[in-house]
Amino acid sequence: MREEETPVPGEVLEELERVDIIAFNERGKRLSVVLDRKRYKRCDFLFLTRSYKSRPGEKYEQIFWLTQTSMAQHRPAIKLVAPASVDELTIRIASDERYPWHFAGAKTVRGRLPTGDYALLNSDSKILAVVERKTFDNLMADFGVMPVLHQRLAELATYQYHALVIEAPYSDFLNPKKVKYYTPSFCAQAIGELYALHPKLRIVFCANRKVANQWTQHYFSAIARHSGNTAVSSPLRSKRAGGNP
């Protein structure tokens, strides 16, 4: 329950412990806190609004404190943090994208994108998330122009929600029978360089085109459920426009 009463005059409160907060993350109705100590450092606060059974139209708030131990022992019915459903997705496909992916149940539009090949839009047609798509041959060709690839990926990573989705498993780039122009060792080093120079970049290796397509649709759907109707634009562009990053 929230403390709503005025403190008693002259009341002295004793501080029991002071520790730094490592992580503070709000996910829907849950607030997760991680403290900088060895034991009892993780917990959630769950905020719920209930209706009075005997007072129609009136509601009250309940706040539950959930420790890591209690969450592990309780094991409630399996469910995700975000709402189970979301309104129709609107996905913009880059104008120059040949043989684009298909997104079942989503509204797709063609148009220019500042970066990436696919973008999730909110109701104001502003970008929520971007995905750069690469086939096996696309990425192999990009290895020949690494400086250009690094520039494109650096721009992609300026968006809060982004991903480089590759339509091939990582093992294909280590297979001498599949890599023609480079050695498996070079491919491994090139991919390692992408991770090292772009630590915030989300790189996803999928088994094939179909799996990459499905992964992207589920990724967009999850972002739409968590983000509501908030646009997440590039912080660099926000600065240039005079807004907050």
* Alpha carbons 28 and 22: distance in angstroms, whole number: 20
User: Are residues 64 and 95 located together in one domain of the fold?
Assistant: no
| DSSP 8-state class, residue 229 | T
**Is residue 206 within 8 Å of residue 215, measured between CB atoms?**
yes
* Alpha carbons 139 and 223: distance in angstroms, whole number: 26
Q: How many domains does the chain have?
A: 2
Any domain includes 245: no
User: Are residues 56 and 153 located together in one domain of the fold?
Assistant: no
Amino acid 76: pLDDT: 58
Any domain includes 9: no
- CATH of residue 97: 3.40.50.10130
Q: What is the pLDDT of residues 58-73, one digit of tens each?
A: 999 999 998 888 877 7
Average pLDDT score, the chain: 87
Amino acid 75: pLDDT: 64
Any domain includes 85: no
* Alpha carbons 62 and 79: distance in angstroms, whole number: 20
Q: What is the pLDDT of residues 3-42, one digit of tens each?
A: 888 888 888 888 998 999 999 988 778 899 999 988 889 9
User: Are residues 163 and 204 located together in one domain of the fold?
Assistant: yes
Any domain includes 114: yes
List the Cα angle 71/42/36 in 5-degree steps.
Answer: 170
User: Are residues 165 and 192 located together in one domain of the fold?
Assistant: yes
Amino acid 238: pLDDT: 46
User: Are residues 126 and 231 located together in one domain of the fold?
Assistant: yes
